[in-house]
Amino acid sequence: MKDDFMDINDKSNPGMETVLLNLGPQHPSTHGVFRLRTLLDGEEVIDVEPIFGYLHRGSSKLAEERSYTQVITLTDRLDYLAGMSNNLAYINALEKLCGVEPPIRASYLRVIMVELMRIASHLMGIGFLINDLGAWVTPLMHMFREREKILDLFEMVCGARVTFSYMRLGGVSHDIPDQFKGELNTFLNDLTTKIQEYENLIIGNEIIISRMKGVAKLSGERAINSSVTGPNLRASGVDWDLRKSDPYEIYAQLEFDVPKGENGDNWDRMIVRIEEMKQSIYILRQCIESIPTGETRVETDFFVRPPVGEAYGMVEAPKGELGFYLVSDGTIAPYRCGIRSPSFINLTVLRELCVGWKLADIIVNFGTLDINVGEVDR
Amino acid sequence: MQIEVLGLFLSEQTVSHVMMAIKIFVLINILLIITTMLTYAERRIVARMQNRIGPNRVGPFGVLQGFADLVKLVTKEDLIPSNADKIIFSLAPIMIMAPALMMFAVMPFSPNLVLADLDIGIFYVIAIASLGSLGVFAAGWASNSKYSLYGAVRGVAQLISYEIPLVLSVTAVVLLAGSLNLQDIVGAQKLPFIFVQPLAFVITLFAVAAELNRTPFDLNEADSEIVAGFHTEYSGTKFALIYGTEFLAAFGWSLVIALLFLGGWNPSFGGLFFLMIKTGSILFLFFWFRGTWPRVRIDQILAIAWKLMFPIATVNILITGAQILFVQQVFGIFPGEALSIQALSVISVMNIGLFVLLLFILPFNKGLSEFENQMRVHQKGIE
User: How many residues comprise chain B?
Assistant: 383
Within 8 A of B222 by CB-CB distance, chain A residues are: 134, 360
> Both B67 and B94 in a single domain?
no
Task: Flag whether B383 is in a domain.
Answer: no
Under 8 Å between Cβ of A153 and A122: no
Interface of A with B in 88-107 (CB under 8 A): none
> Both B140 and B4 in a single domain?
no
Tell me the average pLDDT across B268-278: 81
- Which pLDDT belongs to residue B2? 58
User: Residue B266: pLDDT above 70?
Assistant: yes
| Percentage of chain B modeled with pLDDT above 70 | 92
> Both B96 and B57 in a single domain?
no
Of A28, A205, A210, the CB nearest to B300: A210
> Both B203 and B110 in a single domain?
yes
Range of the structural domain that residue B208 is part of = 82-362
Within 8 A of B300 by CB-CB distance, chain A residues are: 210-211
Question: Model confidence at B363, in pLDDT bands (50, 70, 90)?
Answer: low
Of A21, A41, A138, the CB nearest to B49: A138
Interface check for A19 against chain B (CB to CB < 8 A): the answer is yes
- The minimum CA-CA distance between B195 and chain A, rounded to whole Å, is 25
Among B45, B75, B105, the domain-final residue is B75
User: Residue B41: pLDDT above 80?
Assistant: yes
- Which pLDDT belongs to residue B321? 87
Cα dihedral sign, A248-A249-A250-A255: negative
Under 8 Å between Cβ of A199 and A122: no
Task: Flag whether B36 is in a domain.
Answer: yes
> How many domains in chain B?
2
User: Residue B382: pLDDT above 60?
Assistant: no
Interface check for A44 against chain B (CB to CB < 8 A): the answer is yes
**What's the CA gap between B233 and B84, in Å, rounded?**
9
Interface check for A21 against chain B (CB to CB < 8 A): the answer is yes
Task: Identify the CA nearest to A71 among candidates A325, A360, A367.
Answer: A325
Helix, strand, coil fractions of chain B, as percent rounded to 5: 75, 0, 25
- Which pLDDT belongs to residue A264? 84
CB contact under 8 A, B215 and A135: yes
Task: Flag whether B312 is in a domain.
Answer: yes
Task: Identify the CA nearest to A321 among candidates A120, A147, A79.
Answer: A79
> Both B163 and B240 in a single domain?
yes
**Closest residue of chain A to B382, computed from CA coordinates:** A1
What tens digit of pLDDT does each residue of B72-85 get?
988 988 888 888 88
Within 8 A of A215 by CB-CB distance, chain B residues are: 373
- Which pLDDT belongs to residue A119? 92
**What's the CA gap between B289 and B217, in Å, rounded?**
10
> Both B45 and B107 in a single domain?
no
What tens digit of pLDDT does each residue of A132-163 get?
888 878 888 888 888 999 999 999 988 888 88
Tell me the average pLDDT across B317-331: 85
Tell me the average pLDDT across B213-236: 80
Q: Which of B144, B148, B226, B297 to mutate to test the interface with A (most CBs of A within 10 A)?
A: B297
In whole numbers, what is the pLDDT of chain B averaged over residues?
83
What tens digit of pLDDT does each residue of B42-72 get?
889 989 888 888 888 888 888 888 889 889 9
ω into B55 cis (within 30 of 0): no
Task: Flag whether B382 is in a domain.
Answer: no
- Which pLDDT belongs to residue B375? 41
**Domains of chain A listed by start with CATH number:** 59-377 (1.10.645.10)
Tell me the average pLDDT across B221-246: 83
Q: pLDDT (tens digit, 0 to 9) for every residue of chain A, 378 residues total? A: 344 444 444 555 555 677 888 887 877 776 778 888 888 887 888 888 888 888 888 888 888 888 888 888 888 888 888 888 999 999 989 888 888 888 888 899 899 999 999 999 999 888 888 888 888 788 888 888 889 999 999 999 888 888 888 888 888 888 888 888 888 999 999 999 988 888 888 887 778 888 888 788 888 888 898 889 889 999 888 888 888 888 888 888 888 888 888 888 888 888 899 999 989 999 998 888 888 888 888 888 888 888 888 999 889 889 889 999 999 888 888 898 889 889 889 888 888 888 878 888 888 888 888 888 888 888
Within 8 A of A361 by CB-CB distance, chain B residues are: 297
Task: Flag whether B376 is in a domain.
Answer: no
Q: What's the start-to-end Cα distance of chain A, in Å?
A: 29
Within 8 A of A271 by CB-CB distance, chain B residues are: none
Within 8 A of B225 by CB-CB distance, chain A residues are: 29, 134, 359-360, 363
Task: Flag whether B270 is in a domain.
Answer: yes
What tens digit of pLDDT does each residue of A268-312 get?
888 899 999 989 999 998 888 888 888 888 888 888 888 888 999
Question: Model confidence at B364, in pLDDT bands (50, 70, 90)?
Answer: low
Give the range with max mean pLDDT: A127-136, B91-100, B176-185, B339-348: B91-100
User: Residue B371: pLDDT above 50?
Assistant: no
CB contact under 8 A, B381 and A355: yes
Among B27, B47, B75, the domain-final residue is B75
- Which pLDDT belongs to residue A2? 45
Vertex B158 angle, CA B153 and B161, to 5°: 130
> Both B42 and B148 in a single domain?
no
> Both B114 and B50 in a single domain?
no
Task: Flag whether B378 is in a domain.
Answer: no
Provide the 8-state DSSP code for B339.
Answer: P
Q: Which of B53, B225, B290 to mutate to test the interface with A (most CBs of A within 10 A)?
A: B225
Amino acid at A197: E
Encode chain A in three state secondary structure.
CCCCCCCCCCCCCCCCCCEEEEECCCCCCCCCCCEEEEEEECCEEEEEEEECCCCCCCHHHHHCCCCHHHHHHHHHCCCCCCHHHHHHHHHHHHHHHHCCCCCHHHHHHHHHHHHHHHHHHHHHHHHHHHHHCCCCCHHHHHHHHHHHHHHHHHHHHHCCCCCCCCEECCEECCCCCCCHHHHHHHHHHHHHHHHHHHHHHHHCCHHHHHHHCCCCCCCHHHHHHCCCCCHHHHHCCCCCCHHHHCCCCCHHHCCCCCCCCCCCCHHHHHHHHHHHHHHHHHHHHHHHHHCCCCCCECCCCCCCCCCCEEEEEEEEECCEEEEEEEEECCCCCCCEEEEECHHHHHHHHHHHHHCCCEHHHHHHHHHHHCCCHHHHHC
Among B55, B75, B95, the domain-final residue is B75
Question: Model confidence at B380, in pLDDT bands (50, 70, 90)?
Answer: very low
Task: Flag whether B368 is in a domain.
Answer: no
**What's the CA gap between A181 and A178, in Å, rounded?**
7
> Both B139 and B176 in a single domain?
yes
Task: Identify the CA nearest to B69 among candidates B34, B35, B36.
Answer: B36
Interface check for A10 against chain B (CB to CB < 8 A): the answer is no
Within 8 A of B308 by CB-CB distance, chain A residues are: none
> Both B68 and B19 in a single domain?
yes
> Both B247 and B277 in a single domain?
yes
> Both B189 and B296 in a single domain?
yes
